[in-house]
A and B are shown apart, each in its own frame.
Chain A
Amino acid sequence: MTKLTLKVNHDLFGGLLLVGIGAYAFYHGQQYALGSLARMGPGFLPTLLSAMLCVMGATLAVSSQWRPSSRVQIQLGQLLIVAASLSLFALLLRPAGLLTATFVSVLVSSWADRQITWPGRLLLAGVVAGLASLIFIFGLGMTMPLWWG
């Protein structure tokens, strides 16, 4: 899983990403009124900014073709594992409490490391879950459930 990577030309991919974001924001922003310079509507700046983003992204993507290609590696595996770990925490916090959410979140996120072993992983998850509960619920008195219910 951690070996899942993607190699791309950073200026080309980056430029296209910006054009994508800009174009979507431009399209979505058309529903807001433009107004005039003296009385700008809610759509004035979004339209202007998304157009600027498209132009900048396009310039970057096009100009990347004249430069010697430089590729970067995107760690897709690590990205997915960390995103999953945080999302699981958010998903579990309300129904299952801080202890469970932390335990599961650490189990998942530690998966991204290549060296950790299963006993180490379980131990880490247990220790962090205990510590987090102690600090946040008993120490700082934050209002969140500790356990199911």
Chain B
Amino acid sequence: MDVIANLGIGLQAALTPTMLWYCFIGVLLGTFIGVLPGIGPLAAISLLLPITYYIGADVAIVMLAGVYYGAQYGGSTAAILLRLPGTASSAVACLDGNPMARNGRAGVALFITTIASFAGAITGLIILIFFSPYIAKLGLKFGSAEYFALMLLGLVAACTFSDSPLKGGAMVVLGLLLSMVGTDVNTGVIRYTFGFSELSSGLSLVALAMGIFGVADIIRNINTIDTSQLSQRFTLRSMLPNREEWRRSLPSMARGSAIGSFFGTLPGTGASISSFMSYATEKKLSRHPERFGHGAIEGVAAPEAANNASAQTAFVPTLTLGIPGDITMALILGALIIHGITPGPQLITAQPELFWGLIVSFIIGNILLVVFNIPMIGLWVSMLKIPYRLLYPTILVFISVGVFSVSNSTFDIYTVVAIGVLGYLLSTLRFDPAPLLLGFILGPLMEEHFRRAMLLSRGNLGTFIDRPISFSILIITALAIGFIMTSSVRRRLKANKTDKASHAN
């Protein structure tokens, strides 16, 4: 019954005209950004961050969150029609969505992604509604040792699931190192500022996110994105799946939603990992794995459900523990903190109308997205026809203005240039930049909690093992590391074997 009462509070908060308006703007913008290849929700959220200074905290988060989950819906459109993923997590939708489009089933693929996205999002929201209060209660028992252990688990999980754990790990460490720039909280010593007073408060998160996910992506995408061969028209009838397609995709959506909900809740792993994992699962479970890559509808339904489920459950650790579930959540967390709200175990009880209002607005937003993505799909497809050579110079200007407006300083634009160059080099050298940003965000939090735990235990590292919750989290972390080791060794052995086999021939 608690749930109904809580949702009642939420409904009251969410059904005001301003909340509805910002929810609408957020999901509209999110779909737009998601559809356009070459600009992701992260860049869009960093751009909007300065604007949120002028509006209230609740509507700001409603809008930013709308951009985030809206982009998860829109991202698959370009992936299916042009093989150009609009967001990182929709890269998987290319694998089977694009072959479906080439087989003349583009409308069906788009329809199924929307339905799968909705199913995933609603599953994620149910998890969010029922589990958040429990996790918040558990969170009240957390001390510094537990927070440190949990963040360590997040970082380890982020590298476990990247292509090469060594490269992912190196990115985490580089991100942690970048977070050392600025004034040390405990001693007041100014580190790594190279004489620039602007750096004494640390590298700006917005500048870092825009450099890595805005500028670096643009440098990579110039001359490679070609949207000119697009010529589809969609009628509602051509979008409806037949009975066989429904039968195949419904169980996949259920599995995808479950996988996405799990990885979303885990701090450090988000939408991209969820969609990759659920695609792999579908392929493994299928009786005809050879159909995958040639337009298997399961390969479209499952990952889309997964990335939307994780986009919603990522709010669980963010809102109940104050630990960002993924990078986008970290930006949203930043926005909350700017508005003087510190998410943590007390948030649900101290500000129930904010917490439940957000959740109800997510439900409303997802319903809006179904409307945007099925009857209005033609509009988005026509937007895809805007050539990239007109888009990227415009995006660059928006990035510059956005970064400038955070603290009215051109210094941050130069920071974006430097970070953008570094980000481009790293991504071209096949490093995944997501763990870097995660390390950067969790770095200061981890340092603070580690030091506090050490101070309380007088330098005794045993404190992490003596406390039962912290100990169990560390065991899970150790298991994850063990999993990385064994799987990479197994992969090496397998590669050697095939090497020898090919030599023998």
* Contact flag A142-B405 (CB < 8 Å), given A57-B170, A86-B413: yes
Contact with A along B424-466 (1 / 0, CB 8 A): 1110111100000000000000010001001100110100000
User: Is A32 located at the chain interface by the 8 A CB criterion?
Assistant: yes
For residue B388, which residues in chain A have a CB less than 8 angstroms away from its CB?
113
Q: Interface of chain A, helix or strand or loop or mixed?
A: helix
Q: Is the CB of A79 within 8 A of B424?
A: yes
From A17, A22, A75, A86, contact of B400 by CB (8 A): A86
User: Is A4 located at the chain interface by the 8 A CB criterion?
Assistant: no
Q: How far is the CB of B411 from chain A (nearest CB, A)?
A: 8
Contact with A along B25-61 (1 / 0, CB 8 A): 0000000000000000000000000010000000000
For residue A146, which residues in chain B have a CB less than 8 angstroms away from its CB?
none
Q: Is the CB of B454 within 8 A of A128?
A: no
Q: How far is the CB of B447 from chain A (nearest CB, A)?
A: 6
Q: How far is the CB of B194 from chain A (nearest CB, A)?
A: 8
For residue B166, which residues in chain A have a CB less than 8 angstroms away from its CB?
56, 59-60, 63
* Contact flag A90-B413 (CB < 8 Å), given A10-B430, A105-B396: yes
In the bound assembly, the distance between CA atoms of A29 and B401 in angstroms comes to 33
User: Is A2 located at the chain interface by the 8 A CB criterion?
Assistant: yes
Q: How far is the CB of B159 from chain A (nearest CB, A)?
A: 11
Q: Is the CB of A128 within 8 A of B394?
A: yes
User: Is B189 located at the chain interface by the 8 A CB criterion?
Assistant: yes
Q: Is the CB of A128 within 8 A of B410?
A: no
From A42, A82, A128, A144, contact of B189 by CB (8 A): A42
Instruction: Give the contact-size bracket for chain A.
Output: 35 or more
Total A-B residue contacts, Cβ distance less than 8 Å: 178
Instruction: Give the contact-size bracket for chain B.
Output: 35 or more
> Looking across the interface, which residue of chain A has its beta carbon closest to that of B226?
A115
User: Is B74 located at the chain interface by the 8 A CB criterion?
Assistant: no
* Contact flag A87-B417 (CB < 8 Å), given A45-B180, A53-B177: yes
For residue B458, which residues in chain A have a CB less than 8 angstroms away from its CB?
38
In the bound assembly, the distance between CA atoms of A41 and B180 in angstroms comes to 13
- Which of B215-223, B364-372, B376-384 forms part of the interface with chain A? B215-223
Interface residues of A in 74-109 (CB under 8 A from B): 74-75, 78-79, 82-83, 85-87, 89-91, 93-94, 98, 101-102, 105-106, 109
* Contact flag A42-B187 (CB < 8 Å), given A98-B401, A106-B394, A114-B223: yes
Q: Is the CB of A46 within 8 A of B417?
A: no
In the bound assembly, the distance between CA atoms of A125 and B397 in angstroms comes to 10
User: Is B173 located at the chain interface by the 8 A CB criterion?
Assistant: yes
Report which residue of A2, A49, A115, A140 has the largest number of chain B beta carbons within 10 angstroms of its beta carbon. A49
* Contact flag A83-B417 (CB < 8 Å), given A14-B430, A56-B170, A116-B389: yes
User: Is B245 located at the chain interface by the 8 A CB criterion?
Assistant: no
From B400, B425, B430, contact of A90 by CB (8 A): B400
The 7 closest A-B pairs by CB, nearest first: A38-B459, A90-B413, A14-B429, A42-B189, A113-B389, A90-B410, A42-B184
Residues of B participating in the A interface, judged by any CB pair closer than 8 Å: 51, 166-167, 169-170, 173-174, 176-177, 180, 184, 186-187, 189, 191-192, 215, 218-220, 222-223, 388-390, 392-394, 396-401, 404-405, 408, 410, 413-414, 416-417, 420-421, 424-426, 428-431, 447, 451, 454-455, 458-459, 461
Give 20 A-B pairs besides A32-B191, A93-B400, A109-B392 with Cβ atoms closer than 8 angstroms: A11-B430, A14-B167, A21-B177, A25-B192, A49-B176, A53-B174, A56-B166, A56-B169, A56-B173, A72-B429, A74-B425, A75-B428, A78-B219, A86-B417, A87-B414, A90-B414, A90-B417, A105-B396, A142-B401, A144-B401
Residues of A participating in the B interface, judged by any CB pair closer than 8 Å: 2, 8, 10-11, 13-14, 17-18, 21-22, 25, 28-29, 32-33, 36-42, 45-46, 49-50, 52-53, 56-57, 59-60, 63, 72-75, 78-79, 82-83, 85-87, 89-91, 93-94, 98, 101-102, 105-106, 109-110, 112-116, 124-125, 128, 131-132, 136, 140, 142-144
Name 10 A/B residue pairs within 8 A (Cβ), A-sorted. Answer: A13-B429, A18-B174, A21-B174, A33-B189, A45-B180, A72-B430, A79-B424, A82-B219, A83-B417, A113-B388
